[in-house]
Structure 1
Amino acid sequence: MATTATTTTTPFEFPWEYSFPPFFTRQTNLTTHHAQLTKWSDLILAYCRHYRIFKLSLSAAIPSSTTTTTTTTTTTTAGATTSSPPGGTTATSGVGQAQTEELFHNRRLNRRLSLADAREVIDAMRRNGRAEYVGGKDGGDLVWVYWRTPEEWAALVEKWVDDTGQKGVVMTLYELTEGDGTKGTDFHGLDVELLLKALHVLAKRGKAQVFGQDDSQGVKFF
């Protein structure tokens, strides 16, 4: 399942390439393929930023034929036969499968990016520091999508600490992600695991100390 901090009712505006059938097929020309990977990477980052998705489940976004219904409904009207696509899947919570599936599946074109090709895009994003398999295991299902990298989140937290005089203050991770004091900041509602990655960046710079375990984790800023 995708992890999201907030939901938005504003539909995502897909780029023109999304309506171009060859965009969903691996291109054999090296130059064209490189451009294709770049466009797909940009699309994934923009889509996840729009819906504040931090973790992307590939199995939810690209369900196999054994876990999703792909039948079409056929009706006959005045002698003409038309087919309509299935109603789609149902989101489990937040921005779930129903939304993330549209990222890789253009129902109007009846084109879907294959799982193998999606993983190649993720690998290209990994090389650019914009994606990482959760747990560091290559080829897993859950992927961190870094529309902001841990370093970029760390910079936002550090600026907030400086601007609000939080140096020397001890805070829980819950206060940082859900507390009233951080409302209006970009990191309010941030995935806690991703927040920890950002805090560890600050810790390495001597700007913070992370302590505690599990639900009792906190941080002190310097």
Structure 2
Amino acid sequence: MQLSTHTTPSGFLLPSIHSAPPFFTQQPNPATQAIVAEQWSKLILSYARFRNMFTLRVEDAEIPGGEWDEVLRNERINRRLLPAHLASLIADMVSKNLASYDPPNQTRSVLLWWRQPDEWAEVLYQWADSTGQMNTILTFYEILDPPVPSALSGIPITVLRRAVSILTKSQRAQIISVSDGEGVRFLSRNGK
């Protein structure tokens, strides 16, 4: 069988390893499984970034036609990732800080870090600067659902909080209490 890339209906280009039947089964050799886990991690994160998705659940392996189906299943070779294997891959991603359990204290759902929190902080700060939001108090809702869609549109509140926390520690933002919850004020780098 020849391995080949494949473009999904969403336009995502699957790597050739996705057409290898062993890719979909947990490998008994730990060294081989480590390579498979690394390839799955790259695939999951690049797909999530392509589709602007943030959450992956073990149950996603069981949902035909779901938002993860075109990656977790390959009908061309009649293979799919089983939930137990996905749970193992998720645990591996969490151990490498590529994902975090969300909500905490469970192991079936993760928040995917296709951009690390410090990268999200930079995206947030650049957005605030480029849209003239410096020294303006914005609610979290205004950031997550801006009038003009941005790279921040629809990100989970958990991601936003982590990014704001990083900016607060570097004195580029401050948390402000507002009437309907929390807000943030972005501060220019020179403190003005």
When normalised by structure 2's length, the TM-score is 0.82
Go from structure 1 to structure 2 and tell me whether the alpha carbon gap of 1:162 and 1:213 turns closer, same or farther (over 3 Å shift): closer
> Which ranges in structure 1 are unaligned for 5 or more consecutive residues?
1-8, 69-87, 90-97
CA contact (8 A) 2:98 2:113 kept: yes
CA contact (8 A) 2:137 2:176 kept: no
Which residue of the partner structure matches residue 3 of structure 2? none
Which residue of the partner structure matches residue 3 of structure 1? none
AA in 1 matched with 2:144 = T
Question: Which structure 2 residues correspond to residues 161-200 of structure 1 after superposition, within 5 A?
Answer: 161-180=128-147, 183=148, 185-200=150-165
Which residue of the partner structure matches residue 73 of structure 1? none
When normalised by structure 1's length, the TM-score is 0.71
Go from structure 1 to structure 2 and tell me whether the alpha carbon gap of 1:34 and 1:214 turns closer, same or farther (over 3 Å shift): farther
Using the alignment, how far apart are the partners of 2:52 and 2:139 within structure 1? 22
CA contact (8 A) 2:117 2:162 kept: yes
1:199 shift after superposition: 1.0
1:134 aligns with 2:102: yes
1:119 shift after superposition: 1.7
SS in 1 for 2:54: strand
Using the alignment, how far apart are the partners of 2:179 and 2:21 within structure 1? 46
1:188 shift after superposition: 2.8
Which residue of the partner structure matches residue 115 of structure 2? 148
Deviation track 1:53-73 (CA, whole Å, cap 9, x = no partner) reads 0112221x122xxxx7xxxxx
Using the alignment, how far apart are the partners of 1:37 and 1:149 within structure 2? 19
Which residue of the partner structure matches residue 202 of structure 1? 167
> Which ranges in structure 2 are unaligned for 5 or more consecutive residues?
1-8, 188-192
Greater RCO (CA < 8 Å, at least 6 residues apart)? 1
Which residue of the partner structure matches residue 32 of structure 1? 32
1:147 shift after superposition: 0.6
1:114 aligns with 2:82: yes
AA in 1 matched with 2:51 = Y
